[in-house]
């Protein structure tokens, strides 16, 4: 079997707005209603495209709010490294209004992000991937290509 020269990332699509008052954290009662897929030679751009398809428009710049209430000391240290990385990438840290919310713990602000249509991330790993995806999207075009085009790339491999 040929190894494709690209990455494919799938993301679930969950209609959080249809669950009034629910904080958007996956639990056993949650079911996705679909999924999106991002494909690119760069795994981070594939992730960025999958997020776009799922309705999560990761900002290329702006304000990031981190929620850290209730984190263990180890997780808080990891979050501090993440905060520094977002600062170095040119983002502004905010305790108020934001363009991206990162909350690795269930928090009511996640629900507000859903209601405002703002992107949110609920894991530290997802926040790192999102930052790398944003950096890739700043450098490269995120144009859409059809599955037939990608299949042609595979046939040429």
Q: Is the pTM of this model over 0.85?
A: no
Q: In angstroms, rounded to a whole number, what is the distance separating the alpha carbons of residues 147 and 8?
A: 11
Q: Is residue 76 part of a domain?
A: yes
**Mean pLDDT score, 41-63:** 94
Q: Is residue 1 part of a domain?
A: no
Distance (Å) of CA 8 to CA 2, 105, 119, 142, 152 = 15, 28, 21, 14, 15
Q: Which domain holds residue 133?
A: 7-156
Q: pLDDT above 70 covers what percent of the chain?
A: 87
Query: Among the ranges 11-20, 21-30, 83-92, 139-148, which has the highest mean pLDDT value?
Result: 83-92
Regarding predicted confidence, which is higher, 139 or 145?
139
Q: Is residue 103 part of a domain?
A: yes
DSSP string, 56-74: ----SSSEEEE--TT--HH
What is the enclosing helix (H) or strand (E) of 137?
A: helix 124-139
pLDDT at 136 over 60: yes
pLDDT at 30 over 60: no
Q: Is residue 136 part of a domain?
A: yes
CATH of the domain at 116: 3.40.50.10190
Q: Is residue 2 part of a domain?
A: no
Q: In angstroms, rounded to a whole number, what is the distance separating the alpha carbons of residues 8 and 49?
A: 10
Total domain count, the chain: 1
Q: Is residue 50 part of a domain?
A: yes
pLDDT at 27 over 70: no
Q: Is residue 82 part of a domain?
A: yes
Predicted confidence at residue 20, as pLDDT, reads: 74
């Amino acid at each position: 079997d040929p190894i494709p020269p690209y990455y494919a990332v799938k993301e679930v699509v969950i209609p959080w707005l249809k669950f009034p008052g629910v904080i958007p954290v996956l639990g056993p009662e949650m079911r996705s209603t679909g999924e999106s897929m991002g494909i690119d030679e760069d795994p981070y751009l594939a992730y960025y495209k999958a997020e776009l398809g799922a309705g999560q428009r990761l900002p290329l710049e702006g304000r990031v709010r981190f929620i850290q209430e209730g984190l263990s000391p180890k997780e808080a240290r990891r979050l501090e490294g993440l905060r520094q990385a977002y600062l170095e990438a040119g983002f502004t840290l905010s305790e108020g209004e934001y363009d991206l919310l990162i909350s690795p713990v269930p928090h009511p602000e996640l629900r507000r992000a859903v209601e405002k249509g703002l992107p949110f991330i609920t894991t530290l790993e997802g926040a790192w991937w999102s930052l790398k995806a944003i950096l890739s999207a700043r450098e490269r075009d995120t144009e859409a290509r059809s599955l037939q085009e990608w299949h042609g790339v595979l046939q040429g491999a």
